[in-house]
Amino acid sequence: MALQEAALADYDPSNQLWHWHATVAEYANSHFRLSEDERRAGLIALLSAWTKWLKRFPDGMGKMLFWMEEMRSNLEAEVAVCPMAKNEEAWAFLDALDAQLPSPDRTIMLREMVADVWEAKLKVLPADEEEKRAILLDNYGGALIALGQCEDALKLIQESLDIQRQLAQVNPQKFLPDLARILSNLGECYSRLGRREDALKMAEGAI
């Protein structure tokens, strides 16, 4: 309350968040500079608190996009340390954040963060989770397409396709719809790269 009265911090009761005045952050950064290890440890320690906060709101709530845009730098810092945190804590945070983020083709401000979240999820995902890996590779590839990075996206979606084809051979009824979606995404990637014949083959395969 004293900080609030001194105009050094402001509390948003609806979101249960404190916002520091910019000068306070500058003062703390210049007088109490942390080492990289200390900074990383502090961010990792906050993962569970961020997870609880994100889960307070319905998935995909429109107003949440505004809040995430406002807090983007904080959230991006948390995403960056996830591969160094315990898998359970990191996955819980990334999953909660992922549920709130829009698809990359429906945002500009958060498009890079969407890609970063899916990349981080791939890094913390256990190696034997092939089904989730195929979906994440395709999602990450789609995010890179939205960012105009089609060459990098092509490699990811092709890897996703290879995994999905193996899964579909074992259980066609379950995995063929995902296979069709991945083929469509691969076709879009080829199309953006000007490879029209390859794009057509992928579209026919999806059908």
Percentage of the chain modeled with pLDDT above 70:
98
Tens digit of pLDDT for each residue in 184-193? 999 999 999 9
Residue listed under structure tokens 């899916």: 118
pTM: 0.84
Tens digit of pLDDT for each residue in 58-74? 766 667 788 888 889 99
Per DSSP, the three-state class of 12 is strand
Q: Which spans in the chain are helix H?
A: 2-5, 22-31, 36-45, 47-54, 62-70, 72-81, 87-100, 111-124, 130-146, 150-170, 172-192, 196-206
Does pLDDT of 25 surpass 80?
A: no
Query: Which CATH code is given to the segment(s) 125-207?
Result: 1.25.40.10
pLDDT given for residue 194 in this prediction: 93
pLDDT given for residue 61 in this prediction: 62
